[in-house]
Chains A and B, each alone.
Chain A
Amino acid sequence: MATTAISHTPSFSETFFSSLYQVENGERFRTCLQCGSCSGVCPFGYLMDFPPGRMIAGLRADEFNLVMETDTVWMCVSCYACAQICPSKIPITAGLMTRTKEELLLAGNVPSELQSALENSQRYGNPMGESPRKRADWTLGIEPQITLLGKERLPVDVLWFVGDYPSYHPRVQSVAKSLAKVLNALGINFGILGPEENSDGDTQRLAGERGLFEMLVEKNGRIFNKYQFGKIITSDPHAYNALKNEYPALGVSYPVQHSTQFLAEHIDQLKPLLKKEIQATVTYHDPCYLGRVNGVFDEPRLLLGAIPGLKLVEMAHNHSSSLCCGGGGGGMWLDGFQWEKAHARLSEWRVHEAVDIGANILAVACPYEPPRFEDAVKTIQQAEQLVVKDIVELLAEALG
């Protein structure tokens, strides 16, 4: 008996599933064992209507439309814990979670807090809606004056991509000032872009705004192209991740280092300058996009170890099992939304761990972290004595 193919309009689940194949290693979604490790390790998996494992089950059951009707995907902080633990090495964060957020965003299902961060990023080049003209205002009063590439038009060895929070956030500006101090102490020939710099866009991308990310890459790419520099450094792991792993595919390719990598390379020169003792028990929080995603674990610890008097201890979750501060994947701009759902903050969990290990200082290496952890310190009674410092701030302090 002859059979005829029945024409078939692909369902949303099918179209979506096949779009995952375009992500690197996307074919691995077929190899999901439904072991549930991803849902278990996810810091907010317990309250998601569809944690990652169930999302994949929904795809296979041709019922992904049910996932699209919920809003708990916005609890995903893109921390890569699920992708890290997956025995089949499925790109859950880069593929499933990000693609789902993209679809939700196209359908207009966006929490309003996130909406304003995205609109601001488009309009002003930074998520907080600050004036682009004031992007370098934090440099006022710093001596020697920081080179603005747009003004000096001289080649530099290092282009420092400052990033949104170090440029504008009052707490994180102190990290930028500290890095300037350390770079000056090392005699590095560096410059910044100032008002010409735009958000790196990585967190917007992971929050589902691919189009916005591409727009920001184009803008930054055009500006990079105007100047001569040897390499880019940044204190922001999200910017580092974007410049290293995402920009090249869009034609913007430069050597890039996180500031901890760059400073670790100069450790022999830096160490003799660190004369002032810091008598403290310090624990280091591995940022998701420096550690788990990009494998930079040793350099931050090497720098902390070079500070005289400092004793380094590890929290229960460290290196690749580090806990997320809650700011990634749009979490930075979903504080109210996530609080409403969870009545808990990931930053508080982390601060509890720092207190438990007996640390006086929680050292960090990502600009999202000082404000997030300092807010958590205020809400945890036992944490009253805990101080949150970026590694660069500790180095600047040890310079005396």
Chain B
Amino acid sequence: MNIIVPVKLVPDLVEELSIDASGTALDTAWLRMIVNEFDDHAIEQAIILKEQTGANVTVLSANIEGIDDLLFTAAAKGADRLIKLNGDFESGVNNHALAREMATIIRALKPDLILTGVQAHNDLDGSIGPQLAEYLGIPYIGYVSGVKVNGDKVNVRKEYPGGLIGEIQVSLPALLGIQAAEQPPRYVAISKVRQMMKTVNIEEQDLAIFDSLGAPTVNRMFVAEAAERASMLSENADEAAGQLINIFKELGTL
């Protein structure tokens, strides 16, 4: 079984975000990038399937700063093949454009199963999974939290709102949007990652020029603004407590 795992780096929210001079995008100068949490689960699920069935796992991602660490870590966990995709990511590529181009590359890899994170916090034009599945012409199931291989089909557990779980069988090839792997992403000792850096090769492939057709345009990006109706309490805890008591009294709850 050939499993392809497209993953991406997203802004790490441990640092405060700022907006660039154009007012329509994040300022990338101070951005620290981290693997999209759901993609980390997709890698874990792929490795679990490899351990169960002997699948071959390929992890691929856009070639931006920090990607090598992500890919070598995936290799240390058990990924067999690493690919980074070269392209013009500077000008703010969106998921419509990326899905179109990645579909061409992934098709050539002849996947049986594609696992990717169900969403990312910086998806502005929809998550990439369904778009990729559409361009590949294969079924998509999202919010998946368990996968069992059953011959040329897979049985998946899909999470629905309200605590409902659906069990669905789907013929391969198929694309699954992973909500959670069957176990939390594993830890790999740094010595193992460093060993990968010395011994494993990351392949490079070129993406064609991006075509963003169909994607929305960002007119303005801004930090949430307090509306006039909101009244802000003091930052001093004692004062704030006094203010709260008055508010509760006014509302008749005290």
User: In the complex, which of the residues A110, A122, A124, A129 contacts B190, with contact meaning CB atoms closer than 8 Å?
Assistant: A122
B14 touches A212 (CB 8 A): no
A118 touches B14 (CB 8 A): no
Which residue of the partner chain B has the closest CB to A130? B14
User: In the complex, which of the residues A105, A129, A133 contacts B187, with contact meaning CB atoms closer than 8 Å?
Assistant: A105
Complex contacts, B16 vs chain A, CB 8 Å: 131
* B148 proximal to A (CB < 8 A): no
* B191 proximal to A (CB < 8 A): yes
Complex-state Cα separation, A123 to B12, whole angstroms: 11
A211 touches B194 (CB 8 A): yes
User: In the complex, which of the residues B187, B193, B194 contacts A115, with contact meaning CB atoms closer than 8 Å?
Assistant: B187
B15 touches A210 (CB 8 A): no
User: In the complex, which of the residues A106, A110, A131, A211 contacts B14, with contact meaning CB atoms closer than 8 Å?
Assistant: A131
A318 → chain B closest CB, angstroms: 38
Which residues 90-147 of A have a CB within 8 angstroms of B? 102, 105-106, 108, 110, 112, 115, 118-119, 122-124, 129-131, 133
* A390 proximal to B (CB < 8 A): no
Which residues 179-220 of B have a CB within 8 angstroms of A? 184, 186-194
Complex contacts, A110 vs chain B, CB 8 Å: 187
A124 touches B14 (CB 8 A): yes
B190 touches A131 (CB 8 A): no
Which residue of the partner chain A has the closest CB to B184? A112
B7 → chain A closest CB, angstroms: 16
A-B contact pairs, 10 of them (CB 8 A): A105-B189, A108-B188, A131-B14, A133-B15, A209-B190, A210-B191, A211-B190, A211-B192, A211-B193, A215-B194
Complex contacts, B193 vs chain A, CB 8 Å: 211
Which residues 139-196 of B have a CB within 8 angstroms of A? 184, 186-194
B61 → chain A closest CB, angstroms: 17
Highest count of chain A CB atoms <10 Å: which of B184, B189, B191: B189
Give the interface size class of chain B: 10 to 19
A108 touches B187 (CB 8 A): yes
Complex-state Cα separation, A129 to B192, whole angstroms: 22
User: In the complex, which of the residues B14, B188, B189, B194 contacts A129, with contact meaning CB atoms closer than 8 Å?
Assistant: B14
B36 → chain A closest CB, angstroms: 14
Which residues 54-96 of B have a CB within 8 angstroms of A? none
A212 → chain B closest CB, angstroms: 5
A106 touches B192 (CB 8 A): yes
A215 touches B190 (CB 8 A): yes
B residues apposed to A, CB below 8 Å: 14-16, 34, 184, 186-194
B189 touches A211 (CB 8 A): yes
A108-B186, A123-B34 provided; 13 other pairs, C-beta below 8 A?
Answer: A102-B189, A105-B189, A106-B192, A108-B188, A115-B187, A118-B187, A124-B14, A130-B14, A131-B14, A131-B15, A133-B15, A211-B192, A214-B190
Complex contacts, B184 vs chain A, CB 8 Å: 112
- What are the 5 A-B residue pairs with the smallest beta carbon separation, nearest first? A211-B191, A211-B190, A115-B187, A212-B190, A110-B187
Complex-state Cα separation, A130 to B16, whole angstroms: 11
Complex contacts, A124 vs chain B, CB 8 Å: 14
B179 → chain A closest CB, angstroms: 18
A200 → chain B closest CB, angstroms: 16
B235 → chain A closest CB, angstroms: 15
A205 → chain B closest CB, angstroms: 11
B192 → chain A closest CB, angstroms: 7
Complex-state Cα separation, A211 to B193, whole angstroms: 9
Complex contacts, B188 vs chain A, CB 8 Å: 108
B180 → chain A closest CB, angstroms: 14
Which residue of the partner chain B has the closest CB to A105? B189
Which residue of the partner chain A has the closest CB to B195? A211
A106-B187 CB under 8 A given contacts A131-B14, A131-B15, A133-B15:
no
A98 → chain B closest CB, angstroms: 13
Complex-state Cα separation, A131 to B30, whole angstroms: 12
Complex contacts, B14 vs chain A, CB 8 Å: 124, 129-131
Q: Mark A194-217, 1 if CB is under 8 A from B, else 0.
A: 000000000000000111101100
Complex-state Cα separation, A105 to B189, whole angstroms: 6
A105 → chain B closest CB, angstroms: 5
Complex-state Cα separation, A115 to B16, whole angstroms: 25
B146 → chain A closest CB, angstroms: 19
Complex contacts, A102 vs chain B, CB 8 Å: 189
Complex contacts, B34 vs chain A, CB 8 Å: 123
Complex contacts, A212 vs chain B, CB 8 Å: 189-190
Complex contacts, A106 vs chain B, CB 8 Å: 189, 191-192
Highest count of chain A CB atoms <10 Å: which of B15, B34, B187, B192: B187
Complex contacts, B192 vs chain A, CB 8 Å: 106, 211
Which residue of the partner chain B has the closest CB to A129? B14
Complex-state Cα separation, A306 to B129, whole angstroms: 68
Complex-state Cα separation, A112 to B14, whole angstroms: 20
A209-B15 CB under 8 A given contacts A112-B184, A123-B34:
no
